[in-house]
Structure 1
Amino acid sequence: MRTRLVIVFLVPLVALMLSLGGAAGWSAARSIQQGFYASQLADLGYFVTSARQGLLSANTTVFEGEASRYQEVYGIEVAVFDLSGAVWASSSGAAPLLTPDQTEKVGLALSGRRAETPVPAFPWSLADTALVEPVFDDGAVIGAVLIAADADAPRTEIAQQTAIFVVVAVTAIGLGVLLVFLLARWVLSPVRRLDEAMVAIEHGAMDARVAEDTGPPELRRMTRVFNGMAGEIERVVARQQEFALNASHELRNPLNALLLRVEHLATGLGPEWDHDVEETREEGRRMTRILETLLSIARTGRADSPFSAVDLAVLVARRVDAWRDVAAQRDVVFRIAGEAAVMSVTDRTIVESALDAVIDNAVKFSPPGGVIELGARHEAGACTITVRDHGPGLGDDQVSSATDRFWRSDSSEEVPGSGLGLAIATDLMASVEGEIVLAPAHGGGLVVTLVVRDGGAG
């Protein structure tokens, strides 16, 4: 954003300075040119008068003295030609070497044509000048005067003026750039602080706020709104943490009491109940782990995931055993396929909880007598657990919405539920850098794939 703001201010400023500097430089160069040409024409008029007197008196002494002194001072050569085109007198005392252009101008002057003012050229292409003026006496041409001057002096002066304008323009642009950067920094400093505060809140610093007394008035209002929003978010998160902490703490007592009753009841049961009792104990221990996870989230805002080596095939088999009686009430059976052993380094509790949410969803939507197929497999760079039911399934346009909270398809209105199962499973897998993938099954139903990456890293 700062780059765009700097460009918006800087480009017009640079264009304005270049335009003004260029116009000023061009005007100064033209002024120097015109002054140079005007000076030559004035000097030419003086020497025409002097040459007329010399030609009429047939005496070159006065003219040559003045012309010699003029060339000595200004470095400009002056010569007088008679009607034959021969040099009558010159500032150097010798016949000058004429260029074809100068020879042509002398011929035109001897024919009575007066000198024309040179046309201004581009400052960088200023050429040497040769002005020729006819000498008249009673309307008759009696000679011609030539002034030949090089343009080194005006070119040097133009170069100096250009250098001055360049330095001024560069300095002004530099100051403008500095001013624009300072202005952009002042305007965007509240935005930068807002960004830093949002990053801090994202990383758990819920008390991050932004000072409201700097920056433009428009951004100060946005800062106040942000601080109010951040305060409300902090209060909501605090209430959520308190609720999770209280709920988790309050659930531990009845859970412990329930486990104690299970142990008491187990003493009066025969050996044939040992398997069921052990399964009940395992479910109780699993619920204890879930409560500990909730307590950790309530205290620190995140779960301390205990990553360990987990055989996903064994995990699937155990969850199937836990759900078998529930599924049997709906006349639904499980079928385990896939590989016999699928080892992964992950959080067992998180994966179990996500798989429970997916199985619960599959049981609810499976028709009586239906089959739910489960299996764990190795895939490229990850391990997967697939759950395939034979229920109504979802269309391609519904799959992307199925993991949204409280979303339910039109065909599932009669099925009890809140639309949170797949959303919770998605959040759980995301907490260990995994994911949930949904796809319509061939022949009907839905395939839900839990992607488990080792160590919670992609």
Structure 2
Amino acid sequence: MTRRLLLGYLTVALLVLLCLEVPLGIVYGRAEQQRATRAAEDEAESLAAYAAVSLEGGRTGALADRVEHCAERIGGEVAVFDASGRPAASSRPLTPAQARDLAGSREVRSALRGRAAIDVRTAAVGGGARVLAAAAPVPFGSSRYGAVRVTLPTDAVHQRVHGVWLTLAAAGLVALTAVAGVAYWLARWTSRPVLELERATARLAEGDLSVRATLATSTGPPEVRRLAVTFNETAARLEHLLASQRAFAGEASHQLKTPLAALRLRLDNLEPDVAVHARGGLAAAMTETDRLARMVEGLLAMARLDEKAVTRVPVDLDRIAAERVQTWSPVYEARGCRLALGVEQSGQAFAVPGAVEQILDNLLSNALRVSGPGSVVLLDRRRPQPPRRGHREHRSSYVELHVIDEGPGMTAEQRERAFDRFWRAPGSTEGGSGLGLALVQRLAAAGGGHVVLETAARGGIDAVVRLPAVPSPGGPGPVPGRGDALRQWPTRRTVPLPRLRSRPHSGARP
């Protein structure tokens, strides 16, 4: 912004200087030309009067001395012609051919005819130098005239004009330098608060609600100062609202845990005393109580997840995936399902501490809920290969975690809404809070990644979690900063199942 303002100020100053100095230089050049012309006319008229007296009195010697003195004084040439057009005196020797040429020139012929107007023009004489020639008639009676021709070199005039142009250029350069200094200070004074507001806005968009524009409120144009004050008030109000919302969610979730635990305990104690025909209602009440408890836990986890305070660390995805498969396998086997681990290795990725475990627990729980007996759920890790014409650093940019089930799947609209809080798929019968995928999305975003639901090869859902990869030793790829958005992740609508490591289950599908 400073460069653009400075360029604008200098452009305006340059246009003003050009509009002032160019006409001034042109006017001065014309004035110098007119001054030289008048000087030549005056010399020619003065010498014509002297020549008329000298030639009538026969004083040709005095005329010759006067001609030489005049030529030496003006630095030019002087020639006097009688009424017949023959040279009567000249400041330099003339050959017959030169004398005829001078007598035949336009200004001399005009003077020999006794024209009152003085013919002034620029002509080439001698070695080809440009000169200013003026001729005046020398009266000899009533109808006979001689002529005086005076030539002045124009080099001195041109030098004076060039000197004026150089002076104007130097003055313009000094003026531009001064304008540049003032313009730079003015541009910095204008742009510094704007740049501070830009940086503060970027930090606020990244989640830093404590940012304030302090410099912009005291310096810069009044409009920018008022904008900075409004920005600070907006940021403070937003910070207060989000802090109040986070505190309310956390406190409410925490306060609800105790009465829910007491309610579940009382329902358990009532079970022996409930009639057989009423036990179905009691079981439904206990199921809803468990669902409400999970919802409260999810709200509490989301309230505690403060993305601006988390620190991303490298985590071993292969180790965590193996641990989660070992933990969840008995649960899957109890439901008649099978949990398998893909054979591909993914290495390390950047994530919030403990986030990958929570992500996998939520995704594996969702996959188990939609899987029927004999189904296979695959937990796979992948490091996508770069494109054929890609660069090597593309390979180390991110890694993927896939949880692929064989359930009924979802439509495109349902996959888009699945990350909304408290949203549940139509037809869901088992307990669920509708917060699992929302929490997964928050945890992935806190680690600099994201999660997407795709259609699996066998009709189910392929939940893909993409996280920034830890670059290999000596390889490219910086540690991603907080608030980074992953770049244009390639998606695959159909994901083939790789080879499985787990032992086949007796009830599994072929």
TM-score over 0.5 for the pair: yes
The residue that corresponds to 2:360 in the other structure is: 355
TM-superposed deviation, 1:89: 0.6
In structure 1, how many angstroms separate the alpha carbons of the residues matched to 2:363 and 2:99?
105
What SS does structure 2 have at the residue aligned with 1:301? coil
CA shift digits 1:317-362 (9 cap, x unpaired): 1364376389x4xx8x455252176543655721121223334454
Aligned pairs for 1:35-74 (under 5 A) are 35-74=35-74
What SS does structure 2 have at the residue aligned with 1:391? coil
In structure 1, how many angstroms separate the alpha carbons of the residues matched to 2:111 and 2:30?
31
Q: 1:9–1:384: structure 2 CA closer, same or farther, 3 Å change rule?
A: same
In structure 2, how many angstroms separate the alpha carbons of the residues matched to 1:407 and 1:95?
115
What SS does structure 1 have at the residue aligned with 2:379? strand
The residue that corresponds to 2:496 in the other structure is: none
TM-superposed deviation, 1:149: 0.9
The residue that corresponds to 1:282 in the other structure is: none
The residue that corresponds to 2:408 in the other structure is: 391
Q: 1:12–1:447: structure 2 CA closer, same or farther, 3 Å change rule?
A: same
Q: 1:218–1:37: structure 2 CA closer, same or farther, 3 Å change rule?
A: same
TM-superposed deviation, 1:307: 3.7
Q: 1:130–1:196: structure 2 CA closer, same or farther, 3 Å change rule?
A: same
Which amino acid in structure 2 is aligned with residue 34 of structure 1? Answer: Q
Residue 324, structure 1, aligned to residue 335, structure 2: no
8 Å CA contact 2:5, 2:187 repeated in 1: yes
Q: 1:246–1:408: structure 2 CA closer, same or farther, 3 Å change rule?
A: closer
Which amino acid in structure 2 is aligned with residue 108 of structure 1? Answer: R
The residue that corresponds to 2:287 in the other structure is: none
Q: 1:39–1:317: structure 2 CA closer, same or farther, 3 Å change rule?
A: same
8 Å CA contact 1:394, 1:446 repeated in 2: no
TM-superposed deviation, 1:48: 2.0
More helix by share: 1
What SS does structure 1 have at the residue aligned with 2:150? strand
Computed over aligned residues only, the root mean square deviation of the Cα atoms, in angstroms, reads 4.4
8 Å CA contact 1:106, 1:132 repeated in 2: yes
Aligned pairs for 1:38-437 (under 5 A) are 38-83=38-83, 85-92=85-92, 94-95=93-94, 104-105=105-106, 108-109=109-110, 112=113, 115-118=118-121, 127-198=130-201, 204=208, 206=210, 208-211=212-215, 212-236=217-241, 238-239=243-244, 242=247, 301-303=309-311, 305=313, 307=315, 310-318=318-326, 320-321=328-329, 324=332, 328=335, 333-336=337-340, 338-339=342-343, 343-344=347-348, 349-362=354-367, 366=370, 371=375, 373-379=377-383, 380=385, 381=396, 382-389=398-405, 390-395=407-412, 401=416, 405-406=420-421, 412=425, 415=428, 421-437=436-452
Which amino acid in structure 2 is aligned with residue 385 of structure 1? Answer: L
In structure 1, how many angstroms separate the alpha carbons of the residues matched to 2:333 and 2:182?
76
TM-superposed deviation, 1:217: 2.0
TM-superposed deviation, 1:250: 7.8
What is the total number of aligned residue pairs between the two structures? 410
What SS does structure 2 have at the residue aligned with 1:311? helix
Taking structure 1 as the reference length, the TM-score comes to: 0.72
TM-superposed deviation, 1:228: 0.7
Unaligned stretches of 5+ in structure 2?
A: 123-128, 263-297, 386-395, 472-478, 481-510
Q: Percent identity?
A: 24
Which amino acid in structure 2 is aligned with residue 302 of structure 1? Answer: V
Taking structure 2 as the reference length, the TM-score comes to: 0.65
TM-superposed deviation, 1:78: 1.2
Q: 1:441–1:300: structure 2 CA closer, same or farther, 3 Å change rule?
A: closer
CA shift digits 1:26-81 (9 cap, x unpaired): 11111111111122122222222222223333322343333333233321221112
8 Å CA contact 1:312, 1:343 repeated in 2: no
What SS does structure 2 have at the residue aligned with 1:128? strand
What SS does structure 2 have at the residue aligned with 1:215? coil
Task: Name the stretch that deviates more: 195-204 or 137-146.
Answer: 195-204
8 Å CA contact 1:344, 1:454 repeated in 2: yes
In structure 1, how many angstroms separate the alpha carbons of the residues matched to 2:232 and 2:31?
62
